[in-house]
Amino acid sequence: MNAAADLDLQSIPDRIQSEVQRAIQRSIKGVEYIASSGPSLGSTPKDILQVRGTMNLYHYRPISDEIYRVPILIVMATTNRGYILDMVPGQSFIEFLLKRGYDVYMLDWTAPKPEEKSLRMEDYVLDFIPDCVSRVQRAIQRSIKGVEYISSAGPSLGSTPKDVLQVRGTMNLYHYRPISDEIYRVPILIVMATTNRGYILDMVPGQSFIEFLLKRGYDVYMLDWTAPKPEEKSLRMEDYVLDFIPDCVSRVQRDSGETDVTVIGYCFGGVLSLLYGSIFADGPMKNLICFTTPVDFREMKLFQNFSDRRYFDVDRLVDSVGNVPPEMILSSFEMLRPASRAASQLQLWENIWNDEYVKSYRMFDRWATDTLPLAGEYFRTITKDLMWDNKLYDDTMSVGGRAADISKIKVPILHAVAEHDHIVPYDAAKPLIQKIGSIDKEEVMLKGGHVSLVAGANAIKRLWPKLDSWLGERST
């Protein structure tokens, strides 16, 4: 008995030490418990599809290669958070469903605000849940349409029937086949900007400016451009103004049998048309129409910054690379609105279930990115004479040694400008009508941007009817 008592007494220090160590460990863990935030819950990757009032709709990102056709919408109790079904990895019901190949959505709730005290049962049953079901269906449709978008080629553009009258170097002259029984006497020659393709004016049927003109009885030709080849890097401003345009005008005269020609210039095609009209002021141009055409290049603020002669060595660029790459030109346009491409892609995703929206997006996006390189010497002249010295505005411009003073132009002129043009601001385009020598001259400002002024639903309602009413009486 005494031996047993001795054993108990001997074990007391060990027991005391064990209890002390346990108490210390408990205290440490207690501090950790108070200081830490606990395990991260609800961490399975998901996207927020909708937040409205107390309603939150989530879509969990699939992790299986094969997905069941029918999606799951989990409706949580209004008293609890949804992360009870998405605890830590390995203990998450959501993760389990995703691994098994289900497409999982969740309608979760947040605390109603004081002003939401009037929410009723019908708000939950007849509004929130049907709204979520509808959005799940739209998300599925969006995914299907996304696959279609990637796998399809997009609408065919520039399909109005035409004949190729001339191809020479970077120059292409087209004649669109008339579709009206009665044709105006004076043919139209459209001069495109040298950076972009002409099909912006000939999108799909029903949205084609060319088609509109043909239906209204005009005889339509287009001077369009292709990319200059490396050996064409020496093309100069005079090649465009004193050779290509006069050659096309002569061919239009011969093909139509008329001496008079109406010239329509879009953007920098308008600048080339102004230079041509000022040098050949005695004809054969009968009318001039310009769309968003800059004259005061000092007001092209961001382009001025890009080409500031203190930092931009145009001679070194042209001498090094020859033709200016299209990527450089496209980047300069995109820097005017740096977030526009990302924003437009987000809008596309939001509307990808809408076939008409997707069709329109694809048309304009294709054209906007289908940028042409510029011949090196031609770009050198644009930079030095227009961007740096502003010669067109200062009446000191010359092309091939011939003075190009736009006050010499006396023919009727219409200048259409866009209210929200970020490429050619109004201050850059405004002096055109002021400086032109014509008596019959008109500027019209219309809602829209640089592209939507001439193409799309906005143009159909605004610019096209205005141009027809102005040009019809001057084309007989």
Q: Summarize pLDDT for 48-100 with one digit per residue, the tens.
A: 988 998 999 999 998 888 888 888 999 999 998 888 999 888 899 999 999 99
Q: Summarize pLDDT for 160-210 with one digit per residue, the tens.
A: 999 999 999 999 999 999 998 899 999 999 999 998 888 888 888 888 999
Residue with tokens 């299907």: 144
In eight-state DSSP terms, residue 406 is G
Number of C-beta neighbours around residue 204 at 10 A: 16
Query: Considering the entire predicted model, what is its pTM?
Result: 0.70
How far is Cα 435 from Cα 438, in angstroms, rounded to an integer? Answer: 9
How far is Cα 146 from Cα 155, in angstroms, rounded to an integer? Answer: 16
pLDDT higher than 70, residue 25? yes
Contact 75, 125 (CB under 8 A): no
pLDDT at residue 352, rounded to an integer: 63
Number of C-beta neighbours around residue 462 at 10 A: 18
Which amino acid belongs to residue 154?
A: G
- Complete domains list, the chain, with CATH: 46-151 (no CATH), 162-472 (3.40.50.1820)
